[in-house]
Amino acid sequence: MKKTYKIDVDCANCANLMEQAAKKTAGVKDASVSFMTLKMNVEFEEGADEKRVMKDVLKACRKVEPDCDIEL
């Protein structure tokens, strides 16, 4: 399953680092972050709990940029 989330990120480099962090999160098959559109596309692994996975993605992204936000 794929889903798109609105994100708040300050720069293109941070968006790239957030994308890498999201891709490493358990339950995420693939992810992409667009600084231009302020959107994150996430493809979940089969059977993954979307809400739990996105909470983990948000934690990982906040390690990169502490004030980032993802509208869950």
Check which CATH number belongs to the domain holding 9 and give it: 3.30.70.100
Is 13 inside a domain boundary? yes
Confidence band, pLDDT 50/70/90 cuts, at residue 58: very high
**30 is a domain residue:** yes
**Average pLDDT estimate for 2-7:** 97
| pLDDT in the model for residue 72 | 85
In a domain, 72, yes or no: no
Give domain status of residue 11, yes or no.
yes
Q: Is the pLDDT at 53 greater than 90, yes or no?
A: yes
Q: How many domains does the chain have?
A: 1
What is the sign of the dihedral through the CA atoms of 3, 9, 11 and 16?
A: negative
pLDDT digits (tens, 9 = 90+) for 12-34: 999 999 999 999 999 999 999 99
Domain of 17, in residue numbers: 2-67
Q: DSSP of 12-44, one letter per residue?
A: HHHHHHHHHHHHTSTTEEEEEEETTTTEEEEEE
